[in-house]
Amino acid sequence: MPLYDYRCLNCQQKVTVRLSYAEYDTAKPKCPLCGSDKLQRAIGRVRIAKSEDARMESLADPSNFGDVDENDPKSVAKFMRKMGSEMGEDLGPEFGEVVDRLESGESPESIEQSMPDLGGSAGPGAGLDDF
Ligand SMILES: [Zn+2]
């Protein structure tokens, strides 16, 4: 049977209760320490935090993107495309333009010089500096 994390509102301890899936919805589990039934489920928040962490870890793990040759603009472009789709966000027309120019063999330095707007800390230009 699965284990569920609760916080006991009576003795303020974090406790683990063993319940079947059927019991989880209906049962009133009791604190194994003090016998109180004032238990608050702690599992939902923990799960969300963990999955978010795992996502960020997978983004930060370079092995997920294969071998990126930072001296090869086409390789960097491929990496940026994959990173963009992994983040699931619209990174804007500048991002697409940078990637296109990298793919055509232009160096990141030259692209940055011709696109002064990329100098901001949150823009794709900041990413280029990391390569
Ligand atoms: Zn208790």
Share of the chain above pLDDT 70, in %: 66
Report pTM. Answer: 0.35
Distance 44 CA to ligand 1 centre (A): 20
Please indicate whether residue 107 or residue 119 has the higher confidence score (pLDDT).
Answer: 107
Domain assignments of the chain as residue spans, ordered by start = 3-49, 62-130
Residue ranges in 2-122 assigned as alpha helix (H): 21-26, 43-60, 73-87, 92-103, 108-114
Report how far ligand 1's centroid is from the alpha carbon of 6 (Å).
10
Integer Cα distance of 101 and 116 in angstroms? 15
Region 3-49: CATH code: 2.20.28
Q: How far is the CA of 120 from the centre of ligand 1 (A)?
A: 52
Q: Is the pLDDT of residue 31 over 90?
A: yes
Helix, strand, coil tally for the chain in percent (to 5) = 55, 10, 35
17, 27 Cβ separation under 8 angstroms:
no
